[in-house]
Amino acid sequence: MIDIDYLNFLENILTDNRKERFLNVLESRTKHFTIAVEDVFQMHNASAVMRSCEVFGIQELHVIEERYGKRIDKEIAMGAQKWVDISTYDSVTNCIDTLKDKGYQIIATTPHENDCLLEDFDISKPSALFFGTERDGLSDEIIRRADGFLKIPMVGFTESLNISVSAAIIIQNLTNRLRNSDIDWQLTEKDILEKRLDWAKKSIKDIKRIEARYYNI
C-alpha cells in the first residue's frame, strides 16, 4: 500500500519540472515486455542493455548471474540504474520460473529452426526476451524451455551481433510497435504510484533524514 500523504510530502520537495518529467516518462513505461540477460561476462554489455531498456521504456531487467559476478558499469549505464528495476538470479531455472509465474512467455533471441523474424513477431503477448553472449549464445535450458525464438534479419556475412547492439535493435522495434498498437501495455496505476515514490526518494538528498522527520522517528 502506497502512503499517498508521504508521496505528496516528498513530491512537494521536488521541482514542478521534475514531477512533470516523472509523469511523462511513466506514461511510456511498460512491463508488457521484459528483458533477461544470461551470464554476460563483460559488464559494459549488461550495462548497455540496461541503458537501452531505460531509453526505450522497458521498466524491468533480469540478470542471471550463474557463472560470473557482475556490477553495474555506471559510466555506460549513465544513471539508468536509478530508473530501471533490476532483478538478479543465481540460476536460469529461477529466472524462467519467476517470469513464467508472472505470465510471460519465454522468447529466446537466437537463430533457430522455428525462429521468427523481428518484424513478424506477435507483440500481443507479454514476453520475456532472453539475450545471451555473442560468444556462447543462450544456454541449453533456455533454448529447451523457450516458448518461441526471435532473430534480427541480417544480410551480411556476419552471423551475430554484440548483445548490446542486438538488444537495442529489438527493444526499439518492439516498444515502438507496442506504443502504436491498441494493446493495453502501460503500467497500472499502482505501478505508477510505486515508481513515483521510488524515483522521488532517489532524487532527494539525505532522504533518510527527511523520512525520519516525516515519520518522527
Query: Is 161 part of any known ligand binding site?
Result: yes
Enter the DSSP assignment of 65.
-
Enter the DSSP assignment of 31.
S
Distance CA 76, CA 48 (A): 6
Query: Is 207 part of any known ligand binding site?
Result: no
The alpha helices in the chain, defined as continuous H runs, are 4-11, 16-27, 43-56, 74-77, 92-101, 140-145, 163-179, 189-203, 207-215
Cβ-contact 39, 68 below 8 angstroms = yes
DSSP per-residue codes, 96-118: HHHHHHTTPEEEEES--TTEEEG
Query: Is 192 part of any known ligand binding site?
Result: no
Distance CA 156, CA 54 (A): 29
- For residue 31, give the nearest of 61, 58, 62, 63 by alpha carbon: 58
- For residue 49, give the nearest of 24, 80, 19 by alpha carbon: 80
Which residues make up each annotated binding site? 109, 152, 161
Which residues make up each annotated binding site for S-adenosyl-L-methionine? 109, 152, 161
